[in-house]
Every structure is written in structure tokens, then in C-alpha cells.
Amino acid sequence: MADALKIGIAGLGTVGASLVKILTTRSNMLTVACGRPIEVTAVSARDRSRDRGIDTSRMQWFDDSVDLARSADIEVFVELMGGAGDPAYSAVKAALSRGLHVVTANKALLARHGVELAALAEEKGVILNFEAAVAGGIPVIKALRESLTGNTVSRVYGIMNGTCNYILTRMEKEGLTFEACLKEAQRLGYAEADPAFDIEGNDTAHKLSILTTLAFGTQIAADDIYLEGITNISLEDIRAAADLGYRIKLLGVAQKTVTGIEQRVHPTMVPQDSVIAQVDGVTNAVAIESDVLGELLMVGPGAGGNATASAVMGDIADIAKARPGAQLVPSLGRPARQLEAYKRGEMQSHEGGYFIRLTVQDRTGVFASVATRMAENAISLESIVQRPKVHDDKAAQQTIILVTHATTEQSVRQAVAAIETEGYLIGKAQVIRIERPKSA
């Protein structure tokens, strides 16, 4: 049997501790499956005294993760610290420069430095694996990088943030406000004390940018994504969606068009009977549409210690099984230096159209004005619903809900902008795209 594969782990939080437990309690199983033992010989974390429920007494301890990467007696460096910058960036770069294989769960690092790190891995002839960086335990990276070779991918989309999906699910099923659901998510550990990165869509954007590169062979472009979070989604939107036969999900969508690559993250209405609409709570789902296979939809746990550790363990096992001298699969699906320049495509027409909610003053001519502004921008309406009048201390108001046929983002935004100049709109217009997945 081959010698043990020695690994070093930087970061012993929830995921790191879960990984050590898996490697310890299932060592015999892993040895048989991988053809060689796997041993954790070095670790790095900020606090040596913290009880993590694991025994690190036989492991070499480094206070500095970069020192671990540079000098530990290991073959694989596992980065579980997070963050786009240091120490994660310097530690991973040091490990690759030294000729170590690297496994990371760090989507922020890859979104910013992925192409550079992939090029360095290829130069050194080592593996850079990152299955856990997108959708937790769902093997979407391997599917795009290896399993779908020979397919031409046209679109990738999905629910990639458990925090947002949990909040939207609770709002719908229990009639709770966004603020109440967020507070509960924080109490349960699904949301950070500062939840902005999740609820404003940035986490999903980082993951989407990685999938875009794997799907379409372009440079990673995390800063070139149309981005909306869920902070403006109200119970009124949730209820209106239900009345119309939809559920609201935060989706990341990437598709290739004649003008370039369209990347967008935003709340979306999906039909209640579609598969993706049934994905609730902290669960993730990713769909890949291609010419040969059709649509592949993968659903599973998108976060948490065990789910993420499982994906990391799969990456380590692939390294353990790799034959010396064998041709390595490029980290980003194709050689980093052959990735095409990213070209942002224009926002296309959406077959599902748009949901537009307007709270307006209850006065003569408002309804006709709204219809006129839509017609001026060549927007065909599928349905118009007027909600019952509501009286506050100032004036009577009513809600108008419009559902459009397929139209462009520009047309909708121009129509809404024109309505905003009329003087009867109360607050902001709510605009939510409607998607009808092929799996509906």
C-alpha cells in the first residue's frame, strides 16, 4: 500500500473540526477507498485552548497558516479560514508555490484570485480543488469540470445561499416579517451577526462567478454581476406571489447570449409546481442546462459543518487517488491561460416576464396612466390586479399588481422610471423577475 497522504488544515472552525472527525473516525474506510491512508499531521488556528471536540495532540500546531503552508511536512494544504485576502490568499499561494496540492472551501478567495491561483497550480503541476466553495455538499464543481465534458452549457442557475432561502421560506410558510426571520436565522446560526454579505446577494454572486467560468470558459468576473438582495421583499410580495401561483427565491443565473455572458443575482418568482420552488430552508439547488444532457438539477445541503466537510473530504480523496505523473484536470475546467476574456452581455428578454407592484394614490386617472407608460415601452401585460383600497392618515391608496409577458429589463426600468415622475406613486415600485424553469 502507498504511503499515507499527509495533510495540513488551516482553520479549525465548524468545518475544520468536522473534517478532522471524519478523517479520524473513518480512517479505515478511507484507506480502502483511496488506496492509501490519509493523516492530518499539521493544523493551524487562532486559539489553541479552545475545545473543538477533536484531539490535536499528535498534530504539529502552527499559529500562522502561512508558516504551515511553507514549512509543514505535508502534501496537501487544506484552507478553511475564509476571506478573499490574507491570511488565506498568502497561505494558499505559498502552498501552491511550494508544490503542494490545495483544497479550499473559500468562494471569496476564488472569486477574486481564482484564475491566478489556478495558473500557479498548473505551473507547479499540482491540484487545486474547491468543491465545497459552491453549494456545500452538492457536487456541482465536478459535474461542470468533468462529468459534462462534451456538453455545451447554455445556462446555470440556482439557489446558492441557505440564509436567504431560509428567510424566504419562513416568511411564506409562517407569515413572518423579513426582520423577524432574519433575527431567527441569526439565533440558529444560519446568518452572521452582520448578515449583509448573504442577504444583499454577494455570497451568491461569488459562487455564481465561479460556476460561470466553469460553464463558459471565461475569466472570473465576480464584480460584473447584476445584483439585488432580498431586503426589499415584503410579506405583501410573498402573498401576491402565492395568489399568482408562484414562490419567491433568490436565484443566481448565468447564461450565454449573442452579446456575451449574462450574470445576475436577484429575487425571482418561480412556479409553485416547479422542482426548484420546493427547495426550502437552508437547502441549495443548482440547475445546469446543456445541449446533450438537457437539464441537470442537483439539490442538497448547501452549508454547515458536515455538508462542507463532506465536499472537502471528496476533494482530498481525489488527490489521494491521483496517479503520479497522470494528466491533471485543469482547476477551472480548461487551462487558466486559455480562459476567454469575460464580456458582459445585455440583459435579455425574460420568457416569464416581470411582476411589478405599485402602491399609488387613489385618484382618477392613475390606472390609465400606468397602462399608458407600459404601452409606451412596448410592454404587453398578462394580468392586472387592483388590491382593495387602504386609508391612512394622509390619503387613500391602493396597490396595483402587473404581470408582464416576456420583455426586456430596459423596457421595464424605463416604464417604472416614467411612472415615478407622475407624482402618484407611494414609496418605490417593486419589480421581481419571473422564471419558468424547464423542470417546471
Where in the chain are the domains? 5-140+305-338, 149-301, 354-434
Q: Which fold has domain 149-301?
A: Dihydrodipicolinate Reductase; domain 2 (3.30.360)
Residue 348 pLDDT: 65
Name the pLDDT band for 394 (thresholds 50, 70, 90).
low
Residue 193 pLDDT: 81
3-state class (DSSP) for residue 226:
strand
Question: What is the percent of the chain where pLDDT is above 90?
Answer: 80
CA distance 274 to 176: 24
Per-residue pLDDT for 434 more than 70? yes
Name the pLDDT band for 337 (thresholds 50, 70, 90).
very high
Residue 192 pLDDT: 82
Per-residue pLDDT for 272 more than 90? yes
Per-residue pLDDT for 325 more than 90? no
At 185-229, the pLDDT tens digits run: 898 888 888 899 999 999 999 999 999 999 999 999 999 999 999
* 386 beta partners: 400
Residue 350 pLDDT: 63
CA distance 167 to 182: 6
Residue 384 pLDDT: 87
Name the pLDDT band for 128 (thresholds 50, 70, 90).
very high
At 133-180, the pLDDT tens digits run: 999 889 999 999 999 998 999 999 999 999 999 999 999 999 999 999
The residues annotated with a catalytic role in the active site are: 207
Residue 296 pLDDT: 93
Name the pLDDT band for 436 (thresholds 50, 70, 90).
confident
Question: What is the percent of the chain where pLDDT is above 70?
Answer: 96
Superfamily covering domain 5-140+305-338: NAD(P)-binding Rossmann-like Domain (3.40.50.720)
Architecture of the domain delimited by 354-434: 2-Layer Sandwich (3.30)
At 50-60, the pLDDT tens digits run: 888 998 889 99
Per-residue pLDDT for 393 more than 60? no
**β-pairing, 101-104 with 246-257?**
unpaired
Q: Which residue has the cell 471528496?
A: 314
Per-residue pLDDT for 94 more than 90? yes
Residue 386 pLDDT: 82
The H or E element containing residue 104 is strand 101-104
Residue 2 pLDDT: 79
Residue 408 pLDDT: 87
Average pLDDT over the chain, rounded to an integer: 92
Residue 325 CB burial class (10 angstroms; 0-12, 13-18, ≥19): exposed
Residue 191 pLDDT: 83
Q: Which residues of 34-64 are buried (b: 16+ CB within 10 A; e: fewer)?
A: bebbbbbbbbbbeeeeeebebebeebbebee
Per-residue pLDDT for 439 more than 70? no
CA distance 190 to 296: 27
